Amino acid sequence: MDYQKIIDKIYEDLENDRLVQAVMSCLRLARLTEDYFNVAIFLREISSDTKSSANTFLGDTNHLKKELSDHIWKVSFEYWLKERNVSYSVETNKDEPSVYVKSVGEIIADIGQLEKMVIEGTTPQGMTPFDTAYFTDIDNQKKIILRNRIRDLYTIRERIKSRCLCYAISMEKQLQKQQKNQNFVFDAQNYVNLKEKTKTYTISCRKLPNSLILAKRKTILYC
C-alpha cells in the first residue's frame, strides 16, 4: 500500500478546504496502519452518531482484548472533547462553555446556514419608527448570538483541520524514518556481500600466478 499517496491527498484536500474528505483520508490511513487511537478519533469526527461509531470501532478492534479496545475508545473521547469545547453555548444561547458534538460535515453545513441567516435579516416594511427600532434591537441581538455561534464553529473547524494536518505530518515523518532504516539495512547488506566477495577473491588469487592476479585486479576496477 502506498501510504504516501494518501498523505498527499490529505495535504491536497486541506489546501483546497475539503475538510470532510481530509478527515476520511485520515481515517483510512489510520485503519491501514492499525493506528487504533486515531481510528477512534477520526470516527468521532466523521459521524455524530456515537453508537454507530462505537460499533464500527469495535469491528476494527475485535482482535484486541476488550479491555484495551474500551480503554482506547475512552481516551479518544477525552482528547476529542478538548477539541469540541467552545466559549459560547451553541445549543442553548447561554453565555457559558459548551460542547459541540456534531460531525465535521454537519459543522460545515451549520456555518453556511448561520451565515445565510445573518445576511438575510431585514426589517419588515410598513412598521412605525418605534416598532422599527424595537425590531432592529431584537434583530441585532439575534445576530450577535448567530455570530458567536459562527465564531465557535469556525474555531472547532480549524482545530479539526489542524488535527488532520498534524496527523499527516506525523505519519509522513514515520514513513521517511522507516525508509531511511530500510536504506541503511540495504546498504549494510550490500557492504557485507561486497566484503564476502572480496574475501573469496583474495583467497582464490593466492593460487594464481602474479600475471593473472594483476589482470584480475584490472578487471575489478572496471566493474
- Residue 177 belongs to a domain: no
- The predicted pLDDT at position 178 comes to 84
- Residue 200 belongs to a domain: no
Q: Tell me how far apart the alpha carbons of residues 165 and 158 are, in angstroms, rounded to a whole number.
A: 10
Q: Tell me how far apart the alpha carbons of residues 177 and 46 are, in angstroms, rounded to a whole number.
A: 29
- The predicted pLDDT at position 223 comes to 33
- Residue 202 belongs to a domain: no
**pLDDT tens-place values along the chain, 223 residues long:** 688 999 999 999 999 999 999 999 999 999 999 999 999 999 999 998 989 999 999 999 999 999 999 999 999 998 888 888 876 554 445 555 577 788 999 999 989 988 887 877 655 555 555 545 545 556 677 788 888 888 889 999 999 999 999 999 999 999 988 887 665 444 545 545 555 555 554 545 454 455 444 444 443 333 3
Q: Which residues pair with 85 in a beta bridge?
A: 99
- The predicted pLDDT at position 96 comes to 52
Domain hosting residue 7, numbered range:
1-165
- Residue 31 belongs to a domain: yes
Where does the chain have alpha helices with state H? 3-15, 19-32, 36-46, 50-60, 66-84, 104-120, 129-205, 210-222
Per the structure, how many domains does the chain have? 1
- The predicted pLDDT at position 116 comes to 85
Q: Tell me how far apart the alpha carbons of residues 176 and 183 are, in angstroms, rounded to a whole number.
A: 10
List of residues 6+ apart from 159 with CB closer than 8 A? 83
Q: How many CA atoms lie within 13 A of 155 on its CB side?
A: 16
- Residue 43 belongs to a domain: yes
- Residue 149 belongs to a domain: yes
Nearest CA-CA partner of 30 in 166, 177, 178: 166
- Residue 5 belongs to a domain: yes
- Residue 117 belongs to a domain: yes
Indicate left, alpha or beta for 22 from its phi (over 0: left) and psi (-120 to 50: alpha): alpha
